Structure formats: C-alpha cells, structure tokens
Amino acid sequence: MKLFAGLGNPGAKYARNRHNIGFMAVDAIAADHAAGPWRAKFGGRVCEAVLAGEKVILLKPETFMNHSGRSVAEAARFYKIDTGDIVVFHDELDLAPGKLRVKRGGGHAGHNGLRSIHGHLGAEYARVRLGIGHPGHKDRVTGYVLQDFAKSDADWLDDLLRGIGEGAPWLAQDKPERFQTAVAQRMVPPRPAPKAPASEARPETPPRETRPQEPHEDTRTPLQKLADRFR
C-alpha cells in the first residue's frame, strides 16, 4: 500500500495558487483512476484508488502548508504505511515551470510543507518536485507562490497534470524513471510524420494506351486519282 500526499492550502481562496500544485496533482490522479469519494479524515481529505493493482491512499492535508506533516503522519500510522512508501507532491521553485523530478530523501530546501513532514516522519520519503519557476528574488517568493497560475500557464499545467494522472501507476510500482518518462511524453507534443517526397506522394500516371488510327478507305475513281496527281 502507498500513500500519495499532495501539499497545498485548503479553501477556494488558494485553490489555483502555485503553492497548491500538489493538491492539483493528487486530484488528477483521483480523477484518472476512478478513486473513491473524498472524505474528511486525518486533518485533511482522503480517498482510495487502485493503480496497477496497488492500493493507494490519496491525501490532501487541510492543516495549511506549515503543518502538513501532522496529517501525513496520522494517515501513515493509521494505514501502517512505512515512510519509504510515501510519495509527496509539492511545488518546486528551483525547477522551471512544467518540469518534474522525482527524488527520495535529502533536505527540505526551506519548503515549509516538507519541513513539517521531516519533523514528523524523517526524510526518507519520495517527493515529486513540480516546477513552478522562481520569481527572481527571495523577497518575492511568498507573494509569488500564493498567486494563482497565470493564464499563459494553462497549457503546460494541463499537460503536466494529465501526465501525472496517466503515469501515476509507475509510481505505485516503484518505477519513478518510467513515471518521469510518461510525464515527459505528455509535455512534448508528438512530431508530425515526415512528408513523403513528391515522387512517392503522387505516383506517375501511366500513359494512356493509344491505338493506331485505321487508314481511311480511298473512294476516288481512277480518273480522280490521276487528276489529283497533277494538281
């Protein structure tokens, strides 16, 4: 059994914030895999799905970002899920918008949601880092992550979330490289098929068969033929 936890802040005010891309990711997985209904539990919203034959608990902590670890730890204890079987989806300032990386262990890099999880469970869980880009200066970070995605972000965000939903079974099977590949294929549009050369595209039309014309019967009299010779 796995626990997939998406990080964000609860309420309509934050629903489209960059900081809530973790919520969006688990919502995409739930929608793509006919998950059961969301219900209130563990200080958050939880539902269950089956991915590639593996039971997966989907969790959106509603403790606000800074206390996400409390909800994740409570769910993990209830279902007896080891820290190594937890995957956390979160926004990542140090990746360009639309980029995605899977990582296990390591520091929290100042992310308050990860910091809270570290405090409750340690560091040996997997993270799906969802790139949102950086505003350029650390003083602008708080305002940036708490802003809604721009309209210009809509296309890549939709492709990213679709890729996460489609590729999630690979995560359930502990195959993060295959998951990353599935998402990357969704993000890169398929190349158009090469055009065939003109000689192949349009085969030459075979020449029409021509028949020799039948000679006309000469109906002139001998006198007319003689006269025609001297004209």
Write the pLDDT tens digit of every residue in 40-89. Answer: 999 999 999 999 999 999 999 999 999 999 999 999 999 999 999 999 99
CA-angle at 71, arms to 85 and 80, nearest 5°? 40
Q: What pLDDT score does 198 carry?
A: 57
Q: With pLDDT > 70 as the criterion, what percentage of the chain qualifies?
A: 81
Q: What pLDDT score does 63 carry?
A: 95
User: By 3-state DSSP, what share of the chain in percent is helix, strand and coil, each rounded to 5?
Assistant: 45, 20, 40
Q: What is the pLDDT of residues 133-168, one digit of tens each?
A: 999 999 999 999 999 999 999 999 999 999 999 999
Q: What is the pLDDT of residues 188-216, one digit of tens each?
A: 865 565 665 655 555 555 555 555 555 55
Q: With pLDDT > 90 as the criterion, what percentage of the chain qualifies?
A: 81
Q: How far are the Cα atoms of 55, 82, 87, 124, 130 from residue 169, in angstroms, in the given order? A: 10, 19, 12, 21, 18
Query: What is the DSSP track for 24-57?
Result: HHHHHHHHHTTPPPPEEETTEEEEEEEETTEEEE
Of 170, 30, 156, the C-alpha closest to 95 is 156
Is 61 in contact with 95 (CB distance < 8 Å)? no
Domains, the chain, ranges and CATH?
A: 2-187 (3.40.50.1470)
Q: How far are the Cα atoms of 91, 97, 135 from residue 146, in angstroms, in the given order? A: 11, 15, 12
Is 120 an annotated catalytic residue? no
Q: What pLDDT score does 188 carry?
A: 84
Distance between CA 187 and CA 55 in Å, rounded? Answer: 27
* Count of other CB atoms within 10 angstroms of residue 70: 18
Q: What pLDDT score does 224 carry?
A: 67
Of 19, 33, 90, 111, the active-site residue reads 19
**pLDDT surpasses 90 at 220:** no
Average pLDDT, the chain: 90
Q: What pLDDT score does 153 carry?
A: 96
